[in-house]
Amino acid sequence: MTKAKSPPPEGSSPQKRELLFPGRPSFLTTLVGIGRACVGLFMGGLIVLGAMSYYDHNPLVARQLAFQGKQVHDFMRAPFKPESRGVAAVGTATSGAASADGSISAQGQKIFQSHSCYACHGRNGAGTPMAPRLAGIGSKYTPEQLLNLFNHPSPAMDSGGMPHFQFHADDVNALIAYLDSQH
Ligand code: HEC
C-alpha cells in the first residue's frame, strides 16, 4: 500500500491543461475574472466621473469662470501701460546714485513699497480707513520729529498694528521726499 497507488486528488494533475483550455472555471480563472471586473468597474467609474465634470452646471462656478475669462480677455486686449513709477524706482536702484532729488524720492518709494507701508497707508500714501494719509507728511513733521516718531511710535500706531521700523535719518529723508511728491 503506497501512496502512489491512491488516485490523485481532484484537479491536481489536469491543472495545467485546464489553464490552457478552461472548461470549467478553476480557482485561478475565477480570480482573474474578478480582477478584470474590478479594473473594468474602476475605469468605467473614471469615465463617468470625467463625463460628469463636463456636464456639471453650478451657476456660481459658471458665473465666476465667465467673469475670470472676461477679465483675462479685457486685460489681454488693453493697451500696454508700463508702471512708470515702479520702473523709475528700479532704474534708480540699479544706478545706485542718490544725489539727485528724483532718486532720493525714488529711494523713499522703494522703502515705502518694500516695507509694505501701502498695505495700511494706501497706494502712494493716500490713506485708508486703517491708517492716515502720509502724502505730504513733510509739512506735518520735520525729519527729526518723524525719525523720533518711528523710534517711539504713538499708542495709535501700536494699536493699529504698525510695525516698529528701525530707520536711519537717510531713510526718513527719502520717505519724506517721496511722500511730499505724492500730493
Ligand atoms: C499694519 C498697518 C501699518 C503699516 C504696515 C504701517 N503703518 Fe504707519 N500707521 C499705522 C497706524 C494705525 C497709524 C496711526 C494712525 C493714527 O494715528 O490714528 C500709523 C501712523 C503712521 C504715521 C504718523 C501719521 C501722522 O499723521 O501722525 C506715520 C508717519 C507712518 N504711520 C508711517 C508709516 C510708514 C513710513 C510705514 C512703512 C515703513 C508704515 N507707516 C507702515 C498703520 C500702519
Residue from 112, 117, 123, 152 to probe ligand 1 pocket by mutation (most atoms less than 8 Å from CB):
117
Distance 166 CA to ligand 1 centre (A): 14
Instruction: Name the range with the highest mean pLDDT among 70-74, 92-96, 98-102, 157-161.
Output: 157-161
Query: DSSP letter at 6?
Result: S
Query: What residue owns the CA closest to ligand 1's atom 14?
Result: 157
Q: What is the pTM of this model?
A: 0.56
Q: What is the DSSP string of 26-88?
A: -HHHHHHHHHHHHHHHHHHHHHHHHHHHHH---HHHHHHHHHHHHHHHHHHHSPP---HHHHH
- Share the mean pLDDT of the chain: 81
124-142: pLDDT as tens digits: 999 999 999 999 999 999 9
12-62: pLDDT as tens digits: 555 555 556 556 767 888 888 899 999 999 999 999 888 877 766 677 777
Task: Report residue 126 as a C-alpha cell.
Answer: 493716500
How many residues does this entry show for the chain?
183
Find out whether 118 and 149 touch, Cβ atoms under 8 Å: no
What fold characterizes domain 97-180?
Cytochrome Bc1 Complex; Chain D, domain 2 (1.10.760)
Which residues form ligand 1's pocket by a CB distance below 6 Å? 115-117, 119-121, 131-132, 134, 137, 140, 146, 149, 154, 156-157, 160-163, 165, 175
Distance 162 CA to ligand 1 centre (A): 6
The distance of Cα 166 from the centroid of its chain, to the nearest Å, equals: 30
Task: Convert 140-170 to b/e letters by CB count within 10 Å (16 or more is b).
Answer: eeeeeebbeebeeeeeebeeeebeeeebeee
Q: Which amino acid is at 42?
A: F
Taking residue 44's Cβ as centre, other Cβ atoms within 10 Å add up to 10
